[in-house]
Structure 1
């Protein structure tokens, strides 16, 4: 996934990750639901979701 759209740095110039974000509570992101919804709208998720839903399982020789 690409860079977080909700990232707000604690200190200017820090690395973009959850621990350096003001929204990080120490165990989870306060905007986690919005991030999941944003990811579910991506083409990558749609391809993966379609693959998982259409999975028929492995069939051995008949």
Structure 2
């Protein structure tokens, strides 16, 4: 993958943006149970992206 210091925050931002855009699609799902499961999965992806983006090396 490489050792560029800005690579991990970039991937984190991509994960957060993908979770937000996917949330628009999830809102139109017909079954509530499927919608809840998808939102929980998106929450996990967004939190992982947040941690990757705003990590602190100090």
TM-score (norm 2): 0.34
More helix by share: 2
Q: Which has the larger radius of gyration?
A: 1
TM-score (norm 1): 0.32
